[in-house]
Amino acid sequence: MKTVLITGGARGIGRAIAEKFADMGINVAINYNRSKDEAELLKKTLLEKGAKVELFCADVADTVAVSKMVEDVNSTFGDIDVLVNNAGIALPQGVFTDVTEAGTKKVFDVDVFGLMNCTKAVIPQMVRKKSGKIINISSIWGVCGGSCEVVYSSAKAAVIGFTKALAKELGPSGINVNCIAPGLIDTDMNGHLSKEDIEDFCQDVPLGRIGKAEDVANAVWFLASGGADYITGQILNVDGGMI
């Protein structure tokens, strides 16, 4: 049975991805940092459905913690076949000149360096097997940029560049590296938006609605499946046609 490691897997998009893979009969390793209660509730729910799931607490920005996490996943389930780099944070919306150096560092530590830490930790086992799927979660703001989201947009753009370069590097080893760029998704991260804000946003979305976490999870599952074996280095927008 194959194994997936999902970072930031306790809430929102990560939770939906965990549920999708569990439904498909995959061993699910859920990483979390501070969302312990949500992670334990998700584990309980999935176990009741007969899934094979375990929780792994680690700050992805901490290289030592990431190495220990990957070792623990290997001890529990064996090699990691699919890595979903979902963990990410964002600053409150605001003009760039108001962003602090500490705020910028925090976003890049998680959204970029955390992703790199997790990827670097699983590459050796994937290279050894000559197979593996690495799926990175970016954002449409990483594709086109977002006003008052400069730091977040920059970090998510870095994820896209990382994906394209690593896909070329790991392709000869039979490893696929792809990226998903979600649009506005109905998660806690966007819970501060008013009904009017969402309605205004949807005027620019051809499908006329914001996305669901399940929309992203379905795209992740496709890229992790055998149906995507000849797809690598690609950025898949899950945004209702917005860009």
Among all residues, which ones are annotated catalytic? 152
Residue with tokens 């076949």: 81
Question: In the numeric block, which tokens belong to residue 85?
Answer: 């780099």
Looking at residue 206, its amino acid is P
35, 11 contact by CB (below 8 A): yes
Partner residues linked to 235 by β-bridges: 179
The CA distance from 19 to 214, in Å, is: 9
| CA dihedral over 156, 160, 165, 171, signed as positive or negative | positive
| Torsion (CA) 20, 26, 32, 38 in degrees, nearest 10 | 50
Query: In Å, what is the CA distance from 43 to each residue of 28, 53, 234?
Result: 10, 6, 31
